[in-house]
Amino acid sequence: MISIFLSGIAIGLAGAGHCLGMCGGLASLLSVGGKIKHSWLVAYNVGRGLSYLAFTLLLSSALYYGLADYYTQSMQPLRTLAGIIMILMGLYICGASRLILVTEKAGRLLWKSIQPAAKSLLPIRSSKQALLAGIIWGWLPCGLVYSTVLWATSLGSVSLSMMAITGFILGTLPSMLLAGLFSQQLKDIWQRYQLKWLFGISIILYGAYSIPLVKSVLSSIV
């Protein structure tokens, strides 16, 4: 379970380059007079995290209760799916493939129905509005978020799913909380040291190892 939690954190950290691309919009959304309101930023991220938790809980509960009678038989296919999703996420983070972004398409119809509520909160004038904005914007179609939710959902149980998405939320906090404050410096560090390759390849390797067939082959070799 700890490895799942740490994997979630690693995916969140690995998505820093993706998240930093949102900093400009986030800074304008949560600022007054050009200055970030820290309480608004915290509230926004709490709301965002609540949405990810709710999204994962809904999907994982529906999946595992639906597969209750086939739980044991479904574990290997689900773990294989989880490994494949991690490999695709790693390739996306490395900039080698955008295939995982097909998950965004599934959320566009949902977002169209939610978008009017999101717009009604602008401009943000309080922490409460920032919290509500985070809850709503948490459903914004995002390949990284949606693929992470799918990965978490395919881990084998609701508790593992929630552990994974909690790790992911914590992993995204450094880049999101520093958004608008040190975004340019963080982008420079990310690019200078090619951190996308470090995180991306690590996720690919872990994803491959987590696939039951690959793990079995490697175990027999070792």
pLDDT score, position 141? 78
Burial of residue 221 (CB within 10 Å: 0-12, 13-18, 19+) is: exposed
pLDDT score, position 182? 59
- What does the domain layout of the chain look like in residue ranges? 2-66+85-209
pLDDT score, position 191? 66
The phi, psi pair for 22, rounded to 5°, reads: -95, -5
pLDDT score, position 197? 86
pLDDT score, position 50? 97
Burial of residue 59 (CB within 10 Å: 0-12, 13-18, 19+) is: middle
pLDDT score, position 34? 60
pLDDT score, position 160? 93
pLDDT score, position 26? 65
User: Residue ranges of the chain with pLDDT lower than 50?
Assistant: none
